[in-house]
Chain A
Amino acid sequence: MATITVDGRNFDVGSDKNLLETLLWLGFDLPYFCWHPSLGSVGSCRQCAVKKIQGENGDRSQLVMACMEPTIDGMEVSIQDKQASEFRANVIEWLMLNHPHDCPVCDEGGECHLQDMTVMTGHAYRRSRFKKRTHLNQDLGPCINHEMNRCIQCYRCVRFYNDYAGGDDLQVFSAHDNVYFGRHQDGTLESEFSGNLVEVCPTGVFTDKTLKSHYTRKWDLTSAPSVCHHCSLGCNILAGERYGSLRRILNRYNPEVNGYFICDRGRFGYDFVNAEDRILVPRERDRSEVILESSPIIASLKTALASGEVKGVGSPRASLESNFALRELVGSDNFYNGMSGGESELVQLALDFLSNGPVKSTSLTEIEHCDAVIVIGEDLTNTAPMMDLALNQSVRVQPLEQLGQVGIPEWNDAAAREYLQNQKGPLYLLMPQPSKLSRIATKSFRRGIPELIRLLSEITGLLDPSNGPTKVQQPASGSPNAAREADETVKEIAAALATAKRPLVIAGTSMGSLPLMQAAINIAIALHRKNENTRVSFVFPECNTAGAAMMEEKSLPAGQLSGTAPHTLIVLENDLYRRGTPNQIDEFINRFKQVLVLDHSETPTTARADLVLASGTFAEADGSLVNHEGRVQRFIQVQAADELVLESWRWILKLGKLVDNQKLTAYSEFDHLVDAIEQGCVQFAGIARTSLPADYRVHGQRLTRAPHRYSGRTSMFANHSVSEPRPPQDQDSPFSFTMEGHPGIPPESATSHYWSPGWNSVQSITKFRSEISRGRQQSDPGVRLIEPSGKAYLEYLKLAQTHDHQWQLVPLHHIFGSEEMSIKSPAIAARSPEPKITLNSAQAEEHGIKAGSTLAIIIDDQETALPVQLDADWPTDHIGITAGLPGLPYMEGNSIVQLKPPGNEN
């Protein structure tokens, strides 16, 4: 603790932060540009000058940059000092010398940190008579717009892009007052985190190009706190709507999940909500609109339900509440979690280990503090992008420990990076495919899956020689050199993990290999015996995979249904053709007399439905998701949907009423379902704490979705009717759809937009937190449902056999494209890769396959032909195939892949 005096008042503060952060935390308005809570201080913009009062009567006082000054007990500073405030006003005036007269046509206008700081310092008129400098812009791809004229040279962009996110294609060029931030030539920014430049840039140099296509000012966006639906990490987002369409996604600060940043898939993948293929009316097979009450399908559903002849397929991309409601409707015997068998098996193993094993799962922020990491068979950049960003921080943990010896505080970013240079802590990648993370990894060890499993077992043995699993025999193949290298790597990894303070094992489901995950679990068990601070993290394929798996163990019963032919199939927000081969799914669906599908977008499955009910997307629905670590988080409806678009769970409640289901008739609101889950499912105990109940009020008032300066209320819909409609009412959350409600700062978990008087930009987040970067006021980062009990997994797992197909399939996931919904957004589609097959160069030569040629293959019973890419480091007998993109065949780790004999096609 330290006591400091600010403008004559005393404050007790912590001493581990810089002075600027301390002053902002105390609530003072002090302008700044280059400092950022995650990026630290570099002292380059000279904006946060304060007077440090020293000497008798202050005669040795001096101006200092608050961001470069440690907070020291007994220090006295003045923000209001005349010299300091004049200095700050001068700095702004210099920065504004060349700033264009652009605000009315600038996307940042109204949420611009530069605007805020200019107003704060009082600069209003340009006194300079000289001409303004101009710059040419670059085309930075479909996501980011570039307008270099507006730059104030704070260097935040390159510091984030290169130093923090590990990118290398955004640089600073030229010299003196001509410095230019951009790429060496026009082209899409390659980093998966480039979208954060929109929030990091204090002015309008980098803006959101997808927002530009339907531009809306911040004050006009109806926003609600939401959770990203595009991978299993569950990053917190703010989604904004205007005129009935979703306009943009911003990061929402969560100290235990995503901090200040989100990935580009999360930020730009929202446009599926506005896509052409949305289902907006319930309809029958012949695409005619349907009235449920009189539909014969519902009548026969009722009789079928009574005789237990209805099967319900849940979904790992639907909310927990929707899955629960469907389970209540069809009964748990007839409910399936909607995953394929192979995937479900892996997820169940991971969840079982997390809840019954000894090792705790990590949150994303915790990963940033782990000091040795081993990643097993998971291409994180593409399957869990924000984990890539977290690992970029975790490799700095060990080097950062040296800073204490030389007296450099961690927040002093320039000095810290200068001192540490390129030192990196241990990060080992073990996977067949190349990874972007290899740039920062200590070693990227690319081997085939059987060999990886063998090496992992050896590492386990080295970590715990007394009790390790029996050593697997050396494989017959492999040169002595390769064997020696493998041997050295194993020792190196075991040593790095054994000496680490907080080692972390990351594995996942994307390779589809059960023994690989078991081997990863064995390493975690061995490490945990050595070190209780060992953590483990599993990556799952979809946003609610963990929730669906916890709700129900039974996976999609394709090909396994026995007994009498069932009558009705109800599919909840799930494209079954992504869960099995077309033949399997066709056969499965054909067994039912009628098929009822609830979904928000057209899929091959909705095309097979006799009745389609129009569900709401995340923007039109309330719900909860369980993320990869077992944290349940609530997302709140952003926009009022059309009358015929309902949340899936609300459709199911409606069905329940129509068929007189006793349980479902008792529920009519979201909170009823949450309470029922809390009471009915012991594994979800605690879910009721994830969000505020619908009847929560502050001083009798609702919380607001719209900002207080929302415009156009009396004319938005005046073209339809000059009589204003009643605003939509929300019975599921404490939010109003308008600006009517509590005008003050809401509880932190219910932040719908960041704004504070004088702080219109996202930087106003500093005003929302009691302590920057360390938790929030009334913090609610979600509820962790899974804590390790340590009852099971006392012994090592016996590894399952790897399959002995000729080719081991390696599904190549891609951040832009492999996720079902985000690919429907034009910006994401534009960045998605060309599908390809990857083979080992030497092996391809043996087969007479040339790079660039089209190779026909058969995956199970599906034929496809894709261009070939050769890779000398690719393990032999492994075939990498781009996965998940539209039009590509279904595949999983155990799929049988065959090459079609060449010469059969042109």
Chain B
Amino acid sequence: MLSSLRSMWLTFLHLFQKNITIEYPEEKSVLPPRYRGRIVLTRDPDKEERCVGCYLCAVACPVDCISLQATEDEHGRRYPEFFRINFSRCIFCGYCEEACPTYAIQLIPDVEMSEYDRQNMVYEKEDLTIDGQGKYHGYNFYREAGLAIKGKEKGSGHNEEPPVDIKSLIP
């Protein structure tokens, strides 16, 4: 008896407390920047695609929902010919972001991805690519890699000596 009355009293007190729920979708919650939501492909500081088509996101994906095909331009820069994520399979685990060696693939705090037609959950590269650098600024993979691409000759990357003159006899 006493216990029931106590419960009713506590419930009554809740009438005067602040609401925890919000009126979604009229009112939106603020998600932290590292929240794992929709996946995007970002660009490097020079506005070029960051993705180099290394397939590491695809192989890290536990539900195998990423597929791509790597190709390269005439100067040897790798990029994905197509890049597809089947969001109807994605579990937003973030393994792809962890695997990405170039900060290209990132999860952003956008969770509003509902569709009436499941086919619309298949995102291609054009749907995934954003214009900015996402969460990680300043990194350009090709400046660190040894590979030569347009605008970056052999030996002009970070922490690189100029190419060896193999005909030199100097010890």
Chain B binds chain A = yes
- Whether A715 pairs with B65 at a CB distance below 8 angstroms is yes
A215 CA to B88 CA in the complex, in Å?
27
Selected from B71, B121, B155, the residue in CB contact (under 8 A) with A134 is B155
Selected from B154, B159, B168, B171, the residue in CB contact (under 8 A) with A149 is B154
Interface set, chain A 385-430, CB cutoff 8 A to B: none
Contact partners of A711 in chain B: CB under 8 A? 55, 58-59, 61, 64, 66-67
A243 at the interface (CB under 8 A from B): yes
Q: B60-94, CB under 8 A of A: which get 1 and which 0?
A: 01011111111110000010000011101100000
- Whether B146 pairs with A715 at a CB distance below 8 angstroms is no
Selected from A105, A149, A721, the residue in CB contact (under 8 A) with B119 is A721
- Whether A135 pairs with B88 at a CB distance below 8 angstroms is no
Interface set, chain A 69-121, CB cutoff 8 A to B: 100-105, 109-110
A136 CA to B163 CA in the complex, in Å?
6
- Whether B145 pairs with A102 at a CB distance below 8 angstroms is yes
Interface set, chain A 128-159, CB cutoff 8 A to B: 131-137, 147, 149-150
Q: B157-168, CB under 8 A of A: which get 1 and which 0?
A: 001111110111
Query: How far, in Å, is B114 (CB) from chain A's closest CB?
Result: 15
B108 at the interface (CB under 8 A from A): no
User: How many chain A residues have a CB neighbour from B under 8 Å?
Assistant: 45
User: How many chain B residues have a CB neighbour from A under 8 Å?
Assistant: 50
Contact partners of A212 in chain B: CB under 8 A? 72
B54 at the interface (CB under 8 A from A): yes
- Whether B59 pairs with A135 at a CB distance below 8 angstroms is no
- Whether B58 pairs with A712 at a CB distance below 8 angstroms is yes
- Whether A714 pairs with B63 at a CB distance below 8 angstroms is yes
- Closest B-chain residue to A713, C-beta based? B64
Contact partners of B154 in chain A: CB under 8 A? 134-137, 149
B122 at the interface (CB under 8 A from A): yes
10 nearest A-B pairs in the assembled complex, by CB-CB distance: A100-B146, A712-B67, A104-B54, A715-B86, A711-B58, A174-B166, A149-B146, A134-B155, A713-B64, A718-B86
Contact partners of B85 in chain A: CB under 8 A? 715
Given contacts A220-B55, A712-B58, A715-B85, contact A134 B146 (CB under 8 A): yes
Segment among A175-183, A346-354, A745-753 that sits at the interface with chain B: A175-183
Given contacts A104-B52, A104-B141, A149-B146, contact A133 B59 (CB under 8 A): no
- Whether B164 pairs with A217 at a CB distance below 8 angstroms is no
Contact partners of B124 in chain A: CB under 8 A? 719
A504 CA to B57 CA in the complex, in Å?
54
Query: How far, in Å, is A322 (CB) from chain B's closest CB?
Result: 33
Query: How far, in Å, is A42 (CB) from chain B's closest CB?
Result: 22
Selected from A180, A219, A713, the residue in CB contact (under 8 A) with B166 is A180
A709 at the interface (CB under 8 A from B): yes
Contact partners of B145 in chain A: CB under 8 A? 100-102, 104-105
Query: How far, in Å, is B103 (CB) from chain A's closest CB?
Result: 11
B53 at the interface (CB under 8 A from A): yes
B56 at the interface (CB under 8 A from A): yes
B144 at the interface (CB under 8 A from A): yes
Query: How far, in Å, is A757 (CB) from chain B's closest CB?
Result: 16
Given contacts A104-B141, A722-B88, contact A217 B161 (CB under 8 A): no
- Closest B-chain residue to A716, C-beta based? B67
Given contacts A104-B102, A134-B155, A715-B122, contact A217 B55 (CB under 8 A): yes
A527 CA to B89 CA in the complex, in Å?
70
Q: Give me 26 A-to-B residue pairs in the complex whose CB atoms sit less than 8 angstroms apart, sorted by A's number.
A: A100-B145, A102-B146, A104-B56, A131-B159, A134-B146, A134-B164, A135-B164, A135-B166, A136-B154, A150-B146, A176-B171, A178-B168, A180-B164, A180-B166, A215-B71, A220-B58, A711-B61, A712-B64, A712-B68, A714-B65, A714-B86, A714-B89, A715-B85, A715-B122, A719-B124, A722-B119
A173 at the interface (CB under 8 A from B): yes
Selected from B64, B89, B164, the residue in CB contact (under 8 A) with A178 is B164
Contact partners of B141 in chain A: CB under 8 A? 104
Query: How far, in Å, is A128 (CB) from chain B's closest CB?
Result: 10
Contact partners of A103 in chain B: CB under 8 A? 54, 101
Contact partners of B102 in chain A: CB under 8 A? 104
Q: B89-111, CB under 8 A of A: which get 1 and which 0?
A: 10000000000011000000000
Given contacts A132-B146, A134-B154, contact A109 B54 (CB under 8 A): yes
- Whether A105 pairs with B54 at a CB distance below 8 angstroms is yes
Given contacts A100-B146, A714-B63, A714-B64, contact A173 B166 (CB under 8 A): yes
Given contacts A104-B54, A132-B160, A722-B88, contact A715 B67 (CB under 8 A): yes
Contact partners of B144 in chain A: CB under 8 A? 101
Query: How far, in Å, is A453 (CB) from chain B's closest CB?
Result: 52
- Closest A-chain residue to B159, C-beta based? A131
Contact partners of A215 in chain B: CB under 8 A? 53, 69-71
Contact partners of A132 in chain B: CB under 8 A? 146, 159-161
Selected from A104, A131, A715, the residue in CB contact (under 8 A) with B89 is A715
Given contacts A105-B78, A722-B122, contact A134 B160 (CB under 8 A): yes
Q: A712-730, CB under 8 A of B: which get 1 and which 0?
A: 1111101101110000000
B147 at the interface (CB under 8 A from A): yes
Contact partners of A180 in chain B: CB under 8 A? 164, 166
B6 at the interface (CB under 8 A from A): no
Selected from A147, A176, A722, the residue in CB contact (under 8 A) with B121 is A722
Most buried by A among B53, B61, B64, B71: B64
Given contacts A100-B145, A722-B86, A722-B121, contact A712 B164 (CB under 8 A): no
Selected from A105, A710, A715, the residue in CB contact (under 8 A) with B52 is A105
